[in-house]
Chain A
């Protein structure tokens, strides 16, 4: 029983980071209706940037987002202007072709620069653990979960309280009406894409404090965040966090009680079932 509680706790803390990654995707898909298959590879790229900054300047993984977030924001904006913008008016298969191309490019690029072997940072100040009753709390997971929740809250406030955030939401509801109200939708889209990418940098920094990175892990994060998005539905930020936690818990239950390799099985079964049974998601607005 204790074991299950421990698994649920670890899984839910991991789920908060997943929620953060999915929030990035939700900004991109929910606002622009852009099907970004490369989102998971943005996470992978961020983790490599974290590794680079961490080893180059010998900074702790937790502080690297200070550098990698602006970097990924710039990368996202650049990606938007260079390739995404041209596909806005195309059929969605063209977007898929372009973003899958981007995905294999990022994979090849990271492999070219950092080789195929897994990379990890040597230490982090948030390593270690402390007991909580009979349970053990991993400090790195706790900090990651806390930072993720704070970041999700920050995005929530940004979208609701600032003009730019409101214009992003307006553009997601009705681009034409928002344009008439003076929203420059191209700029708004670029910001949303950059912001979505920057969130992967934060998640990448947190993940690298307790995990290693290899060039093929992008697909897993990509499908994971689409799964969370499907589970939550569009338009609810709190829903994303809860869905992230559900997925995280399901994943670690599968790993802890069944077989470590079964984790993707459970996640994708949830994904397929939710699409069949409740396509709007649990918290969907549209």
Chain B
């Protein structure tokens, strides 16, 4: 009975992926729409990666900005100083992010820092990195550093259009989602979900809390670090504002209202909410500059209050209901 259901699921996923791949072809002449799609895609990667540590393991991580910035600075600096292609740079950026995640995560999990204290210290680390790069004048400093301009260069990963970035991020997103599904079917995934549910109970049952959380953190940092490399190529500059506590919080919030631990949840929330936000920004932008943010914030609060388990719980509840109805019919 389960074979056709999995097939149908695979078909759904493939259909969504193809639709996402075809979508920008409708807006080829409109760079604004393209950057909008690229932004949604970027947030999609970040929130889906966050789902590993935040959603599954239940560790409220607010340090996406740290790994994003590290990836961006590694990739950008290598390109500007030594003309190293971002294709290599972004993976090195991912590795730098992993090293940092390990350095931070090891003591954090070793000293059992959890819940609000984990969230706050991870948020503080973003600001620490921001200040460190602000003071480190050789690499950071207070001025923007511009990446070399190229109208269309695969080597430098610099393009005059957002289209290639969109596809690059789409590939990253699919890789992230597949990693999520893969982890979820492995022992690590079960450990993480158990930890997310009740950390003490999971530990009593023999779950290696420290190791599992550290693995999840490292995978997440690697993906976000790579994304940081792409990020700096998209925007064409480096600045310490990349270490943004605001982006970090936004990633976590989208992950929470999307549905923690549901693989497609954060992506769903991102697609709906970030698109909505950008639409509001475009339509309200002129007169009242931050009205769109106020509306967006109210929507986030309402979702969190009315659907504490997230938007995706609407779908998962529906699927569960249908499945039980089907089972009843059969028996």
Known interface pairs A97-B300, A112-B294, A261-B134. Does A279 touch B124 (Cβ–Cβ under 8 Å)?
Answer: no
Nearest residue (CB) in A for B123 is A223
Show the binding face of B for A, using Cβ within 8 Å: 58, 60, 107-108, 111-113, 115-117, 119-121, 123-125, 127-128, 131-132, 134-135, 245-246, 249, 252-253, 256-257, 260, 288-294, 296-298, 300-301, 304-305, 308
When the two chains form their complex, are residues B256 and A264 in contact, meaning their CB atoms are under 8 A apart?
no
Nearest residue (CB) in B for A29 is B116
When the two chains form their complex, are residues A262 and B135 in contact, meaning their CB atoms are under 8 A apart?
yes
A sample of 25 cross-chain residue pairs with beta-carbon separation below 8 angstroms, ordered by A number, consists of A35-B115, A86-B305, A87-B308, A91-B308, A93-B58, A96-B252, A97-B256, A98-B304, A98-B305, A100-B249, A101-B298, A101-B304, A102-B297, A108-B294, A108-B297, A109-B290, A111-B293, A112-B288, A112-B291, A223-B123, A223-B124, A230-B117, A261-B134, A271-B121, A272-B124
A201, chain B: closest CB distance, angstroms = 22
Would you call A66 an interface residue if the criterion is a C-beta within 8 Å of the partner chain's C-beta atoms? no
Chain A positions within 8 Å of B291 at CB level = 108, 112
Known interface pairs A97-B256, A262-B135, A271-B121. Does A219 touch B245 (Cβ–Cβ under 8 Å)?
Answer: yes
Would you call A80 an interface residue if the criterion is a C-beta within 8 Å of the partner chain's C-beta atoms? no
B118, chain A: closest CB distance, angstroms = 9
When the two chains form their complex, are residues B116 and A35 in contact, meaning their CB atoms are under 8 A apart?
yes
Nearest residue (CB) in A for B249 is A100
Chain A positions within 8 Å of B116 at CB level = 29, 35, 92, 96
When the two chains form their complex, are residues A108 and B300 in contact, meaning their CB atoms are under 8 A apart?
no
Instruction: Count A interface residues, CB 8 Å.
Output: 44
Known interface pairs A96-B256, A102-B301. Does A90 touch B245 (Cβ–Cβ under 8 Å)?
Answer: no
Which A29-68 residues sit within 8 Å CB-CB of chain B? Answer: 29, 35, 37
When the two chains form their complex, are residues A265 and B128 in contact, meaning their CB atoms are under 8 A apart?
yes
Known interface pairs A91-B308, A93-B256, A279-B111. Does A83 touch B301 (Cβ–Cβ under 8 Å)?
Answer: yes
Please classify the interface of chain A as helix (H, G, I), strand (E, B), loop, or mixed, using the class held by over half of its residues: helix
A86, chain B: closest CB distance, angstroms = 5
Chain A positions within 8 Å of B249 at CB level = 37, 100
When the two chains form their complex, are residues A105 and B60 in contact, meaning their CB atoms are under 8 A apart?
no
Q: Mark A76-92, 1 if CB is under 8 A from B, else 0.
A: 00000001001100111
Would you call A210 an interface residue if the criterion is a C-beta within 8 Å of the partner chain's C-beta atoms? no
Q: Mark A99-120, 1 if CB is under 8 A from B, else 0.
A: 0111111011101100010000
Known interface pairs A94-B304, A97-B300. Does A269 touch B128 (Cβ–Cβ under 8 Å)?
Answer: yes
Would you call A259 an interface residue if the criterion is a C-beta within 8 Å of the partner chain's C-beta atoms? yes
